[in-house]
Amino acid sequence: MNKMASVYLLGSEGTGWSIDYDYNHTEMFLLSLGHKISNPIAADLVHAVWWNKIIRRRTLPLHYKPVMAVVTNEVDTDSKDFKRGQDIIDLWIVPSDRAYEKLDPYVDVKYQPFYVDERVFQPLNLDQEELCADLGINYKRLENRFVIGSFQRDSLGENLQAPKWQKNPELLVDILSELPNDEVLLFLAGPRRHWIINECERRGIPYLFYGSDPEPGVDDLSYNVWGKWTMNKLYNLIDCYIVPSTSEGGPKAILESAWTKTHVLSTDVGLASDIIDDWCIYENSDEAVEKVIDLMTNDTDDILLEYQHKKVVERASYTAMLKRWNNIYEYFETAHL
Q: What per-residue confidence (pLDDT) applies to 298? A: 82
| Helices 252-260/302-316 angle, 10° precision | 120
Question: What per-residue string of b and e applies to 8-43 under the rule 16 or more CB within 10 Å gives b?
Answer: bbbbbeeeeebbbbbbebbbebbeebebeeeeeeeb
Question: Percent of the chain, pLDDT > 70?
Answer: 95
Q: How confident is the model at residue 182 (pLDDT cuts 50, 70, 90)?
A: very high
Cα 1 from Cα 328, distance rounded (Å): 9
Residue ranges matching CATH 3.40.50.2000 in the chain: 128-316
- What is the average pLDDT score of the chain? 93
pLDDT in tens, 164-176: 889 999 999 999 9
Of 30, 28, 15, 23, the closest CA to residue 325 belongs to: 30
Total-model pTM: 0.94
Q: What is the average per-residue pLDDT within 177-201?
A: 96
Helix (H, G, I), strand (E, B) or coil at 138: coil
pLDDT in tens, 105-164: 999 999 999 999 999 999 999 999 999 999 999 999 999 999 999 999 888 878 888 898
DSSP assignment of 306-323, as one string?
Answer: HHHHHHHHHHHSHHHHHH
Handedness of CA 279, 296, 259, 207 (dihedral sign): positive
Q: How confident is the model at residue 179 (pLDDT cuts 50, 70, 90)?
A: very high
Q: Are 113 and 95 within 8 A, CB to CB?
A: yes
CATH fold for domain 6-115+317-336: Rossmann fold (3.40.50)
pLDDT in tens, 68-86: 999 999 999 999 999 999 9
| CATH superfamily to which 128-316 belongs | Glycogen Phosphorylase B; (3.40.50.2000)
Cα 222 from Cα 132, distance rounded (Å): 24
